């Protein structure tokens, strides 16, 4: 009950800033609409594959918007700038609750709220604008995709948390953060679905964690993965969670020994 109360308080706080969160959601939505417009022109004269038509295009990019809002964490700047560089980490260290889980609880309401915007927008387009989308109707696949989405958020959170902890060693972080963001967009299917990329780029994508944050949950919900493939993806996600969590513990325990804060 104590944990539930903490989460509820954070949800209440985030709800006060719901308009700002909605604006943040609209920014990537504009990119999504631009990409759909691009593909609507590109597919008029040619077809890349039988599974890549306007229905799959609109479904993929709308789900990508929802995945970006719900599954992609943005905790790195708070950890690096506010907590470490400005010394706010001190107030977390005196609390009887691990810093890692406090930041997880702080981030969770943002993802739920912005993801809700995406789901409501998709329902609006389907109901009132008669948008045609392609989503699986198999209950087992849907349930496994929800589990995949939970793992995806965990991977994203761990990556961004580890990026933030790098501020223990580096004072200039923006170049590093922006580089990771660009790499993530390319290799997570954020511009073009991975199966349409060149073979070499596909192989690189499969060996990095970014595809397991958005791309695989999306194509799973579209019904493009068999059950055996879904179980394989889930196992890879668990592997990445283990690796990233181990790295997180290493960065935390080594970094906290370097941390100093001065009071006034």
pLDDT digits (tens, 9 = 90+) for 146-170: 999 999 999 999 999 999 999 999 8
Q: Angle 149-18-241 (CA atoms, 0-180°, nearest 5)?
A: 25
pLDDT of residue 140: 95
* Secondary structure (DSSP) of 73-126: ---HHIIIIIIIISSTHHHHHTSSS-HHHHHHHHHHHHHHHHHHHHHHHHHHHH
Instruction: Compute the mean pLDDT over every residue in the chain, rounded to the nearest whole number.
Output: 87
Residue of 260 and 181 predicted with greater confidence: 181
**Taking phi first (over 0 means left), then psi (-120 to 50 degrees means alpha), and beta for anything else, what does residue 55 get?**
alpha
Is the model's pLDDT at 49 over the cut of 70? no
Q: pLDDT confidence of 264, banded at 50, 70, 90?
A: very low
Q: Mapping DSSP to helix (H, G, I), strand (E, B) and coil, where does residue 50 land?
A: coil
Classify the C-alpha dihedral 68-71-76-78 as positive or negative. Answer: positive
What share of the chain in percent tops pLDDT 90?
Answer: 46
In this prediction, residue 18 carries a pLDDT of 65
| pLDDT score for 224 | 92
Any idea where the domains of the chain sit in the sequence? 2-256
pLDDT reading at 174 higher than 90: no
Output the pTM of the full model.
Answer: 0.90
Angle at 24 between CA 60 and CA 27, to 5 degrees: 55
What are the residues whose beta carbons fall under 8 Å from the beta carbon of 4, sequence distance 6 or more? none
Give yes or no for residue 202 having a pLDDT over 70. Answer: yes
Q: What is the tens place of the pLDDT at every residue in 17-40?
A: 666 667 767 777 888 888 888 888
Asked if residue 193 has pLDDT above 50, the reply is: yes
> pLDDT category, 131, cuts 50, 70, 90?
confident
Tokens of 213: 């944050």
């Amino acid at each position: 009950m104590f944990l539930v109360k903490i989460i509820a308080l954070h949800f209440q706080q985030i709800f006060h800033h719901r308009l700002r969160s909605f604006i943040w959601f609209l920014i990537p939505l504009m990119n999504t609409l631009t990409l759909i417009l691009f593909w609507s022109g590109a597919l008029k004269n040619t077809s890349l594959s039988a599974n890549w038509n306007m229905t799959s295009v609109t479904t993929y990019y709308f789900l990508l918007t929802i995945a970006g809002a719900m599954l992609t964490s943005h905790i790195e700047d708070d950890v690096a700038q506010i907590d470490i560089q400005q010394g706010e980490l001190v107030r977390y260290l005196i609390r009887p609750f691990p810093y890692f889980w406090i930041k997880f609880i702080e981030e969770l309401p943002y993802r739920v709220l912005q993801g809700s915007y995406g789901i409501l927008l998709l329902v609006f387009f389907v109901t009132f604008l008669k948008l045609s989308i392609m989503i699986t109707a198999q209950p087992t696949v849907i349930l496994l995709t929800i589990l995949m989405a939970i793992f995806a958020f965990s991977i994203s959170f761990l990556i961004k948390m580890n990026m933030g902890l790098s501020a223990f060693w580096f004072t200039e972080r923006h170049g590093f953060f922006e580089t990771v963001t660009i790499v993530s967009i390319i290799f997570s299917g954020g511009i073009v679905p991975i199966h349409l990329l060149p073979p070499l780029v596909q192989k690189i994508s499969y060996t990095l964690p970014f595809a397991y944050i958005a791309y695989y949950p999306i194509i799973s919900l579209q019904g493009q993965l068999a059950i055996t493939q879904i179980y394989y993806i889930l196992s890879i996600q668990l592997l990445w969670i283990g690796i990233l969590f181990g790295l997180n513990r290493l960065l935390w325990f080594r970094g906290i020994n370097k941390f100093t804060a001065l009071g006034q």
